Amino acid sequence: GAGVSQSPSNKVTEKGKDVELRCDPISGHTALYWYRQSLGQGLEFLIYFQGNSAPDKSGLPSDRFSAERTGGSVSTLTIQRTQQEDSAVYLCASTRNRYTGELFFGEGSRLTVL
């Protein structure tokens, strides 16, 4: 497709389980971001990938969170041993080359931890 694709769109899990969220960026975009949006809150930066450089992980809230980007394209955000406070919408965005202008966001993955 032409836009950023995220899956699943909705995920309900039990506390303590691991979850994986997937992001497929726009073809040709080398920069990829993950943000978290909690209810009524702004967009919290999690992690940033740029080409083959080491990712900027400075926004990850704990060591239960990790992300990888294989082949410079698809990215997976993994949350281990989920907690109720992890419930949020996880948004992925991509841009052509570093931050040169517009970020293109996916529709997000809504995670609910029971």
Partner 1 sequence: GENVEQHPSTLSVQEGDSAVIKCTYSDSASNYFPWYKQELGKGPQLIIDIRSNVGEKKDQRIAVTLNKTAKHFSLHITETQPEDSAVYFCAVVPGGADGLTFGKGTHLIIQP
Should residue 101 be labelled a site residue for partner 1 when binding is judged by CB under 8 A?
Answer: yes
d(CA 26, CA 29): 6
Q: Which stretch binds partner 1 (CB under 8 A): 18-26, 39-47, 68-76, 79-87?
A: 39-47
Give how many residues touch partner 1 by CB under 8 A.
22
The length of the chain in residues reads: 114
Cβ 81 to partner 1, closest distance in Å?
A: 27
Cβ 22 to partner 1, closest distance in Å?
A: 15
Site for partner 1 (CB under 8 A): which residue of 15, 107, 112, 114?
107
DSSP letters spanning 58-94: TT--STTEEEEEGGGS-EEEEE-S--GGG-EEEEEEE
d(CA 50, CA 69): 10
How many helices (H) does the chain have, and how many strands (E)?
0, 10
Should residue 4 be labelled a site residue for partner 1 when binding is judged by CB under 8 A?
Answer: yes
d(CA 60, CA 80): 13
Q: Rule CB under 8 A: which of 40-69 touch partner 1?
A: 41-43, 45, 48, 50, 56
Should residue 74 be labelled a site residue for partner 1 when binding is judged by CB under 8 A?
Answer: no
Q: Which residues bind partner 1 (CB under 8 A)?
A: 4, 31, 33, 35, 41-43, 45, 48, 50, 56, 91, 93, 98-99, 101-103, 105-108
